[in-house]
Amino acid sequence: MRFSILFAMASALLAQAPGSAPKAGAAPSGNAQNGKKLFVRDGCYQCHGLQGQGGAAGPRIGPRPIAFAAFTMYVRQPSGQMPPYTSKVVSDQELADIHAFLASLPQPPPVKSIPALNQ
Ligand code: HEC
């Protein structure tokens, strides 16, 4: 159900007040380099694009991925078109690595810095 993921995302956002570091122990620390490999091995890139930028089959999920708790919840029990990934297929540590990879992606330049978008 769409509401459940929205609720999970909202509570994850509330749990992470702006400017504050994520709560210690909330997520295993991820290895972005390994996450990059897993993103390809597990086929995430096929729908979300190699940089998580989104594509025809899936939305943008980087460079600012949703909070780890909501991220894991969605991958385990998606509510829409996405196939579920159980912990047998992708472990929690591997998801932490993928999350770290998405979080490590460079931010897009600010719209103000793009002349064509400021005419
Ligand atoms: C077959 C295509 C497909 C594959 C493969 C896939 N996804 Fe998705 N994903 C989607 C679609 C489509 C959505 C949008 C919601 C929906 O319809 O389920 C989505 C949504 C998500 C969301 C929620 C985004 C949000 O802001 O609500 C996350 C997180 C996510 N995917 C992560 C992953 C990860 C990590 C992998 C690899 C382990 C992966 N996806 C593999 C299609 C895919």
Q: Is 15 in the pocket of ligand 1 (CB under 6 A)?
A: no
Whole-number Å distance, alpha carbon 11 to ligand 1 midpoint, is 19
Q: Which of 2, 47, 87, 92 to mutate to test the pocket of ligand 1 (most atoms within 8 A of CB)?
A: 47
Residue numbers of the chain with a pLDDT score lower than 50? 1, 13-25
Q: Is 22 in the pocket of ligand 1 (CB under 6 A)?
A: no
Reported pTM: 0.81
d(CA 108, CA 92): 28
**Max intra-chain CA distance, the chain:** 51
Q: Whose CA is nearest to atom 29 of ligand 1?
A: 71
| Residue 21 CB contacts under 8 Å (≥ 6 apart), including other chains | none
pLDDT at 106: 94
pLDDT at 59: 97
pLDDT at 6: 53
Q: Is 84 in the pocket of ligand 1 (CB under 6 A)?
A: no
pLDDT at 5: 55
Structural domains in the chain plus CATH codes? 26-107 (1.10.760.10)
The SS3 of residue 108 is coil
pLDDT at 26: 57
